[in-house]
Structure 1
Amino acid sequence: MNPAAAPRASLGTTGRAETPMAFVQAIVAAYAQRGLDPLPALSAAQIATNLLDQPDARITALQMEWLSASAMRELDDEALGWFSRRLPWGSYGMLVRASLTSPTLGVALARWCRHHGLLTDDIQLQVSQSQGVASLQLTEQRELGVLQEFAVVSVLRNALGVACWLTDSRIPLLQTTLRFAPPPHAASYRVLFDGPTQFNAPEHSLQFDAGYLSLPVRRDEAALQRMLQRALLLTVRPYRRDRLLVEKVRQTLAEHPEHSRNADDLAAWLNLSARTLHRQLKEEGASLQQLKDAVRRDMATDLLLRTQRPIKQIAAEVGFQNEKSFMRAFKGWTEQTPEEFRLARLP
């Protein structure tokens, strides 16, 4: 199946039409469960009704956002009929708010999963990690029936979107596993989830580098209020920035200085090319030299305050070839010489 060749819902919409019609049909089924007419919502999203009978048809991400927003409000159910009871408008926003004060993503996701269980016991969510891989697992506590695929995909994508938003970081997936068989539109999963997707798996899960669980939560209440104005973007818009890379570079510079003499050595240690390292750091708004300076500054100030080592020895330990270049750099960082910095902080 070639998604690019599938019929588009309207010439007036923008973006590639890659969202499967099966998800539109699931929303229409939710309307039918409540005895309501889906036609106004379909019309508002510019989705022609004749496309409902075309399994290979696709709509754009923007159309799916419009349709979902209309349906959630009209049905007063952010779960769109997936569960045995409705999740009133604002439920998922409440989950994010409950996680906002978490120190790290790991804590935030654990809270998000726990509080999701208070909304419905039809599914159970939990986060685990093993051998450097984190797994967000979804377990069905009851049969979800014809809405299984739409429910599982939507909840997993929502959880991933929340995780990316909380850390302001792209979280690339190592693998997605799903218990159901490959649907006719299985080719669309390359857009729904990055990385490989395994169907007929023992569990539903998203798997990613466990290092992301240690990233700090970077959002506050003001950011949440702005996000909630278009919360569905969390499941639509991919993040480009990868905060974990900056943390890995910092850690390597601090703990393995032998691998940080030049960009080629550092990139090889991180299993990247030097070009990719520079490009991804630039996307993050950082540079290798900035990170080197920051790590050296932190190490130098720590040694100056904790020890009585000579300035010349500290200069060598933090990677400077001579004391003079270290003193020049330190004054640029702090507007003080190393000796002035140390003396000013003596009790």
Structure 2
Amino acid sequence: MVYTGDMRPSSESLCLTLSSRFLQAFFSETGTDLPTQQRLMEQVGIAADTLTSSTGRVTEDQFATLYRLMASARNDELLGLLSRPMPGGTMKFGGYSIIAAPTTGIALHRYSRLLKMLSDDFEVLISRNDGLASIALREPDGPRRCRPMGLELTLKVFHGVGSWLIGRNIPLMAVNFSFPAPTYLDDLYSLFPGPLNFDCPMTTMTFDASLLDLQFHRTERDLRTFLSRQPRDWLCSPSVRQPVAHQVRTCLLEGGVGSMKVPDIAKTLNMSLRTLCRRLEQEGMSVKEVKDALRRDLAIHRLTQTEDPISEIAEGLGFGDIPSFYRAFRSWTGVAPGAYRRDTGIRQVDS
């Protein structure tokens, strides 16, 4: 995708980013040694110092490519996070079994039965009560057999596949994990759109039960596209942990992050300036923090997905001059924009 004029990515297509803390934990839990880490990062265009930088970020496309390379090399779609390998083709086989299901609930039940045949690390329980549905991963008594990230990603598969089937993100009323909060907590808030709780008896997500009764239409062609992009299309979804912050982010994205002022945002959202600031404060955010995070993700998106000149990117994001953009980008990622672009293999257009 190459930007021209005022073209901007939509809130759905804008690539999200994951922190170096998430990538560190991912490599650690999958047992990936340092030489392999370095080789994989070079293959997918992740800067060498991203992993060690406290401000390092990777795009969802970079992570998805990394994931696919590892899954192919290991013939394990969950990369050793479960006690037994999940053979290559599991998602494909499961996909063909669910696209013919009459409802989302039946589709997810079919996928849960497939997992039961392949893994005894946990049992997937799908239930409903008083208008609420839950998908729980019940582990057997005794020591945990799989990695915590294995539980996170398995739960995310169910959320991502269900969202893909119905064509929209499934809002989650609660997400409970049976382990302590990890160092990459903010990344989990980006992956799971709902309130998160830790040290719970069981890993569970809860949502509106009516979503299980929805009919859907997915073709083999849809499935092939979904599989070719995995894990991206079941992994990443916008967070609603902070609904007002999310509205502000969408407003800035649609109205222009480089031009909209705080009064413009409040007016667009039909709020007074005081109400907007108060509600953001309740979510632990400010307009500046939302704006800076969006600028960061847009900058990374344009540097990795387009050949736009850096000066044009800086201007489009509302920076008065290139040096101020360079300083901001270094604070976000730990490297300069040009170095970030070179490491991802995008041709440098200007200095």
Alpha-carbon distance in 2 for matches of 1:20, 1:233: 18
- TM-score w.r.t. the length of structure 2 is 0.58
Q: CA deviation at 1:107?
A: 0.8
1:49-96 CA distance string (max 9 Å, x none): 444345664322122111101111111110111122212221112112
Amino acid across the alignment from 2:127: S
- Give the match for residue 63 of structure 1: 62
- Give the match for residue 26 of structure 1: 26
Contact 2:193 2:238 in 1 (8 A): no
Q: Identify if the C-alpha distance between structure 1 residues 29 and 154 changes in structure 2 by more than 3 Å, giving closer, same or farther.
A: closer
Alpha-carbon distance in 1 for matches of 2:198, 2:168: 27
Secondary structure of 2:170's partner? coil
Contact 1:164 1:239 in 2 (8 A): no
Identity of aligned residues (%): 25
Q: Identify if the C-alpha distance between structure 1 residues 239 and 56 changes in structure 2 by more than 3 Å, giving closer, same or farther.
A: closer
Q: Is the radius of gyration larger for structure 1 or structure 2?
A: 1
Higher mean C-alpha deviation, range 87-96 or range 37-46: 37-46
Q: CA deviation at 1:39?
A: 2.8
Q: Identify if the C-alpha distance between structure 1 residues 91 and 55 changes in structure 2 by more than 3 Å, giving closer, same or farther.
A: farther
Q: Identify if the C-alpha distance between structure 1 residues 28 and 46 changes in structure 2 by more than 3 Å, giving closer, same or farther.
A: farther
Q: Identify if the C-alpha distance between structure 1 residues 46 and 31 changes in structure 2 by more than 3 Å, giving closer, same or farther.
A: farther
- Give the match for residue 198 of structure 1: 197
Q: CA deviation at 1:28?
A: 5.4
Alpha-carbon distance in 2 for matches of 1:20, 1:133: 35
1:127-176 CA distance string (max 9 Å, x none): 1111111001112347457x623211111111111111122232111111
Q: CA deviation at 1:108?
A: 0.8
Secondary structure of 1:77's partner? coil
Q: Identify if the C-alpha distance between structure 1 residues 119 and 18 changes in structure 2 by more than 3 Å, giving closer, same or farther.
A: same
1:155-194 correspondence to structure 2 within 5 Å: 155-194=154-193
Secondary structure of 1:39's partner? helix
Alpha-carbon distance in 2 for matches of 1:237, 1:184: 19
Alpha-carbon distance in 2 for matches of 1:67, 1:21: 16
Q: CA deviation at 1:99?
A: 1.5
Q: Identify if the C-alpha distance between structure 1 residues 80 and 65 changes in structure 2 by more than 3 Å, giving closer, same or farther.
A: same
Aligned CA-pair RMSD: 2.7
Q: Which has more helix, going by share of residues?
A: 1
Q: Identify if the C-alpha distance between structure 1 residues 160 and 20 changes in structure 2 by more than 3 Å, giving closer, same or farther.
A: farther
Q: CA deviation at 1:31?
A: 5.1
Q: CA deviation at 1:201?
A: 1.4
Secondary structure of 1:108's partner? helix
- Give the match for residue 101 of structure 2: 102
Unaligned runs of 5+ in 1: 1-13, 241-274, 276-347
| Count of aligned pairs | 226
Contact 2:123 2:138 in 1 (8 A): yes
Matched, 1:39 2:6: no
- Give the match for residue 148 of structure 1: 147
Q: Identify if the C-alpha distance between structure 1 residues 87 and 111 changes in structure 2 by more than 3 Å, giving closer, same or farther.
A: same
Unaligned runs of 5+ in 2: 1-13, 240-269, 271-351
1:1-347 correspondence to structure 2 within 5 Å: 15-27=15-27, 30=30, 32=32, 37-54=36-53, 57-141=56-140, 143-144=143-144, 148-238=147-237
Amino acid across the alignment from 2:210: G
Alpha-carbon distance in 2 for matches of 1:37, 1:121: 29
Contact 1:15 1:61 in 2 (8 A): yes
Q: Identify if the C-alpha distance between structure 1 residues 200 and 55 changes in structure 2 by more than 3 Å, giving closer, same or farther.
A: farther
Secondary structure of 1:173's partner? coil
Alpha-carbon distance in 1 for matches of 2:150, 2:144: 8
- TM-score w.r.t. the length of structure 1 is 0.59
Amino acid across the alignment from 1:26: F
Alpha-carbon distance in 2 for matches of 1:159, 1:136: 8
Alpha-carbon distance in 2 for matches of 1:82, 1:71: 12
